[in-house]
Structure 1
């Protein structure tokens, strides 16, 4: 395994779609209009959030297949992968059913979509429901590719999917006009094609002979994946739930002063996440002493490199916001930005012990930590945002990620001596 090469592939897989989005979203927004584009973002989020319906099998496959490869148990790879596909297929069908049932209510009642757009939106939501299945399958297949150290194939599929997500709506509105159901059809078609491509990459493992699929293969993936799913559900609540508290405390008109800097600064975490994504199968395949050494080295690298990145972000925040938006916005948002920069640095370091615990087969502990942190965070967020407004919300987020780092470091030290 080449950690540097795999990290660069992960970074490319995350950043190339962002560049495409920055280039193409203005055109799509202009052709669709604010309301229809808002519905499109909901469709993107709906399909993306329901990737949680893979039940953590993608990460479980990364963990298990990397261990099987390192141990030379090649005969077990095929049945383990097939077990993962059975679980993701069942979970994807469940998720698709949930979205299908919710689609009429979303389009006609709960989201307050204008009557002229409701029929198109409902058709789009129904088609998006069908997209949940290839989304969950893609998550499982991507985890398998990374567990087998095929990061290039995994990230080529991620880049293709990311480019498709932004290019197709722009192309569709140019060719077919502003029909959301047509855009959504193409989005789902793209996911199906990506699943087919990843399946072809793994055809020798999917259709291998030898060991047969047994209940133990399903059980191992389910036990690991369940706790990943808990974290996957709780995590977005801790990242984006604060915006509802901020809106309630200071009003929706003040929310951009918090949400825009937060959205931009959280993108900095793509850098350590690219490393930890490549590090997980590596740590899972290593012995304990070798894993501890690799972990310490990676922790120091992330701590120092992200300190530099976050200090640079803090220094450039005012001039960038002043030029991009306005000097008034930059002045009002600067205290929030500085606190969030500190929080991003802390959070980047927490990714390392989090990855180590998952790599050594301990996702249950991180899920329990996150459940506890959720209660602590929402209470602190309510108190500080009511008292200090936007700055209080930023301080609450920074306090939450500091608590997360402390808990994860203590667990890693106690369990693995690092």
Structure 2
């Protein structure tokens, strides 16, 4: 388990490092306004994933079942899912291309160089659609066979290409949105082709074929996952779209930087979630205890990391992007840290619902949240700017975590790891945002808060037999590590 989480972590950390390197270069060679629009286009690309019918999680769920991960059954499910999404992607890509061309000819968009650059890039959207819909299936097939290393190497390559190619293109060819978007699409397509070759070779897949009986099974599970993912994507990206429309490209760029940096904290829960989802899907009842332990591990790592991040983010950002940008980004990022902590814990009940075959409950919860959140996001952004958007975003994530933990009966995780320990982060936020005594003094104060928290948590955990604590975290990890211990020479 630890090795699988390690591979997932390596992949996601590499993605984060790529963004840390490329964002300042984009701002320098592309400008804040164009980068803000390019970031919004990447969000738009993300919306394509809601149209994949949840085939990625569905493939993991089906191929993880005993007796279904090999042979003809695996090949039939894999190719049926790929063919479905390829056809849907081509159709939707054509419809989107025609609709945007028609809207442009009717004068729906304001004239200008940026508008012309975006419309020149429309043919690339036709390519991006089927690629985006097939990619989750390819990753899911490898995850189901616990080939996390191969999947993550490819995803790292995809991210590096997706960031580096547009950056190289705008410096070598010309700094336009058309060139940048083309580079992003080419990078994604190359990585998808490479991943397909890996799946064919490593999974011993037979010749492609489409089988109708499998469609019903895929859609019954994947349909609810797709609906939940789609609504969740809208909830998670509405802030950037609202900011871009109400406050302009420059503010959208600063907000996007804060979002992209803070949400890197999701690296750990996403790495754990990919492993636990495959494990719990194989035996939902027998492996239920691993969910609580997973939440404890997340808590023990994220609380100190985010609390110190509240203080250290300002001096680090000054070194990274300069003082002016830091003043705009840091207040937003600190607010987002509170929300992203709750969101990280929410991965545990999300895994529980999907692995137990109840993705419909998650979709219904997100559908109820959506209209309330969109209204709150619009009003908070309109009246309080980017800070208001960050507050609305964080509050929504906290509410989401509380509801999911409640309905999955993970009450200890709800009351202690989420609500109670969020106060520790609140102390860190107050120290970093309100005290002007120097960042190193603030860091010492936060360390004091963490010391008190660590002692209290350890004492409580020692009274709960089997609960992971700061003292036993290393032992827990080593017990699940495949690396053999070396014996002393006799």
TM-score, normalising length: structure 1 = 0.83
Q: Distance in 2 between matches of 1:41 and 1:329?
A: 19
**Deviation at 1:301?**
0.7
What does 1:156-171 align with in structure 2 at a 5 Å threshold?
Answer: 156-171=153-168
Q: Distance in 2 between matches of 1:21 and 1:389?
A: 25
Instruction: Name the residue aligned to 1:220.
Output: 217
Instruction: Name the residue aligned to 1:16.
Output: 14
Instruction: Name the residue aligned to 1:281.
Output: 278
Would the aligned equivalents of 2:93 and 2:127 in 1 still touch at CA under 8 Å? Answer: yes
Q: Distance in 1 between matches of 2:172 and 2:128?
A: 22
**Deviation at 1:10?**
1.9
Instruction: Name the residue aligned to 2:293.
Output: 297
Would the aligned equivalents of 1:57 and 1:87 in 2 still touch at CA under 8 Å? Answer: no
Partner SS for 2:90: helix
Q: Distance in 2 between matches of 1:118 and 1:312?
A: 42
Partner SS for 1:208: coil
Instruction: Name the residue aligned to 2:60.
Output: 62
Instruction: Name the residue aligned to 1:345.
Output: 341
1:49 aligns with 2:38: no
Q: Distance in 1 between matches of 2:255 and 2:32?
A: 21
> Alignment RMSD, CA only?
3.7
1:267 aligns with 2:250: no
Equivalenced residue count is 410
**Deviation at 1:148?**
1.8
**Deviation at 1:354?**
0.6
Return 128-137 or 151-160, whichever deviates more: 128-137
Partner SS for 1:413: coil
Would the aligned equivalents of 2:350 and 2:404 in 1 still touch at CA under 8 Å? Answer: yes
Q: Gaps spanning 5+ residues in structure 1: where?
A: none
Q: Which has the larger radius of gyration?
A: 2
After superposition, the Cα gap between the structure-2 partners of 1:212 and 1:16, relative to the gap in structure 1 and judged at 3 Å, is closer
Q: Distance in 2 between matches of 1:332 and 1:344?
A: 16
**Deviation at 1:176?**
3.4
Instruction: Name the residue aligned to 1:402.
Output: 398
Would the aligned equivalents of 1:107 and 1:113 in 2 still touch at CA under 8 Å? Answer: no
Describe the superposition over 1:200-254 as per-residue Cα deviations: whole angstroms up to 9, x where unpaired. Answer: 2222657427x98543311111122222222222223322323566789999987
Instruction: Name the residue aligned to 1:131.
Output: 128
Partner SS for 1:302: helix
Instruction: Name the residue aligned to 2:311.
Output: 315
Describe the superposition over 1:98-135 as per-residue Cα deviations: whole angstroms up to 9, x where unpaired. Answer: 331244367775554624x5555323221232222122
After superposition, the Cα gap between the structure-2 partners of 1:248 and 1:195, relative to the gap in structure 1 and judged at 3 Å, is closer
Return 379-388 or 314-323, whichever deviates more: 379-388
Would the aligned equivalents of 1:63 and 1:147 in 2 still touch at CA under 8 Å? Answer: yes
Q: When you count helix as a share of all residues, which structure comes out higher?
A: 1
Q: Distance in 1 between matches of 2:35 and 2:314?
A: 29
1:148 aligns with 2:140: no
1:196 aligns with 2:201: no
Q: Gaps spanning 5+ residues in structure 2: where?
A: 415-490
**Deviation at 1:377?**
2.6
Describe the superposition over 1:176-199 as per-residue Cα deviations: whole angstroms up to 9, x where unpaired. Answer: 344655554454443333232222
After superposition, the Cα gap between the structure-2 partners of 1:283 and 1:65, relative to the gap in structure 1 and judged at 3 Å, is same
Would the aligned equivalents of 1:265 and 1:341 in 2 still touch at CA under 8 Å? Answer: yes
Q: Distance in 2 between matches of 1:217 and 1:337?
A: 45
Q: Distance in 2 between matches of 1:311 and 1:256?
A: 25
Would the aligned equivalents of 2:36 and 2:250 in 1 still touch at CA under 8 Å? Answer: no
Q: Distance in 2 between matches of 1:184 and 1:259?
A: 17
Partner SS for 2:374: helix
Partner SS for 2:409: helix
Would the aligned equivalents of 2:381 and 2:387 in 1 still touch at CA under 8 Å? Answer: yes
